[in-house]
Every structure is written in structure tokens, then in C-alpha cells.
Amino acid sequence: EDQVTQSPEALRLQEGESSSLNCSYTVSGLRGLFWYRQDPGKGPEFLFTLYSAGEEKEKERLKATLTKKESFLHITAPKPEDSATYLCAVQRGWGGSNYKLTFGKGTLLTVNP
């Protein structure tokens, strides 16, 4: 069974204080790892997909990295508007149903001004 564990559950930062969110996973051959952002009362919004260990992607103050066991979402000099819940999900590479995603429970990030 595919599993995704995100830590910490909640993170509170001061504006400008850089940090990282962790997503560890167990999956039958990773085809893709996805990061989403979810604002209160809204649906998840796609941020990044990573496909192989060593891959990195960046968008504004966010950078996602991937190893064979985990992914990190690095947030550099965050602003209050970065406050949201960040979700990680994996897509398996084989074993059937290999277009479904398994989600973690998310990390609630709060950035104080």
C-alpha cells in the first residue's frame, strides 16, 4: 500500500524566516511526486511535479527537491501570502491503478508579518 507522511503537521514562521517541509513516501515504483497548495475554503492548486531522484523545481520562493525516499519543499524568505496548507502526493509506477494519487495529510504553514 502506498503511503505518504508529511511533517511537520503545522509550522509557524516569521516573515523572511526560511524553512523546509518534508514529505516521505513509500510507493511501488515512483512515477511522480506532486506538491499542491491549498488555501482555506478552496481546492488544491498544483505547484510542482518531480519525476526522478535529484530533480529540483522552483517557483518564486518555493523549491521542491526529490530523493528516493522523500521530498522537501524549501521556502525561502516567506511572506504572509505563502500561508496555506501544502499537500504532497505520489503516483505509483506499476502494480495497477498507476494514474491515481495518494495524498499526505498536509502541512499547515503560517507566516506571520
Q: Residue numbers of the site for another protein (CB under 8 A)?
A: 31-32, 34, 36, 41-46, 49, 87, 89, 91, 97-101, 103-106
- Pairing between strand 45-50 and 19-26? unpaired
Residue placing its CB nearer to another protein in the complex, 28 or 76: 28
Distances (CA, A) of 97 to 13, 35, 101, 107: 38, 20, 9, 26
Nearer to another protein (CB atom), residue 25 or residue 36: 36
Contact 111, 15 (CB under 8 A): yes
Q: How far is the CB of 61 from another protein (least distance, A)?
A: 21
Q: Would you say 11 or 76 has its CB closer to another protein?
A: 11
- Residue 14 Cβ, how far from another protein at the closest point, in Å? 26
Min dist. Cβ of residue 75 to another protein (A): 21
Are 99 and 1 a contacting pair, CB within 8 Å?
no
**Pick 31 or 76: Cβ nearer another protein:** 31
Shortest distance, CB of residue 58 to another protein, whole angstroms?
17
- CB-based burial of residue 73 (10 Å sphere; 0-12 exposed, 13-18 middle, 19+ buried)? buried
With CA atoms as reference, report the closest residue to 23 among 42, 37, 10, 4. 4
